[in-house]
Chains A and B, each alone.
Chain A
């Protein structure tokens, strides 16, 4: 399973764009990249998933370079309610779909 590396924490202010980068140098050909958000005492919430290039949904964008050794989650105009831990995970359909959670990034949004 590919190991991921993320910053332990990030601080931002309301209204700003936040970009969280994740390194996954050992990503395999059939691995997808998935990001989750977790609030205290809650289960992780799916944010976005991608395989290559760029994916965008109503809450975030995911940028994946051609070599796929990293990915960047972009949160536009964050608010206080975006304060949470964000996890980047990689996993393959052929690997039993097990997901290995890394340390995650604690994002703190202030006024």
Chain B
């Protein structure tokens, strides 16, 4: 149980284009999902918290107009990187929180974004 999927697993795009990444909780409903970014040899950095039916909460320094998050259902959250640039190339990982009483987050497999 507690499986989280991401699609696509990797994407290569040209600079200036937008890329959408999907995060799905496959066997449970997630009222809260999280988006992280990880650069090579570094730890995960939380970008934003996504709550179903409401606006996402972004961490300091993360541009909300560049990283659009939509959490339209209890099993799906999307991250759209708008007008992507080479410096946005990174490993993007989502997680979904199981239950409301613990901090157990289950992570997706990640999406490797390469912007040319």
Contacts and interface: CB of A to CB of B under 8 A. Distances in A.
A46 B104 contact: yes
Contacts, number: 64
B35 to A, nearest CB: 12
Contacts of B43: 87, 101-104
Contacts of A93: 100-103
Contacts of B49: 96, 98
Interface string B79-116: 00000000000010111010011111111111010000
Contact of A97 (B6, B36, B105, B110): B105
A42 B112 CA distance: 10
Interface in B20-46: 32, 34, 36, 43-46
Interface SS, B side: strand
A42 B5 CA distance: 12
Interface residues of B, number: 29
Nearest to B32: A97
Contact of A43 (B45, B104, B110): B110
State the main secondary structure of chain A at its contact with B. Answer: loop
Interface of B: 2, 4, 6, 32, 34, 36, 43-46, 49, 57, 91, 93-95, 97, 100-110, 112
User: Which 5 A/B pairs are nearest by Cβ-Cβ distance?
Assistant: A43-B107, A91-B103, A101-B44, A101-B43, A44-B107
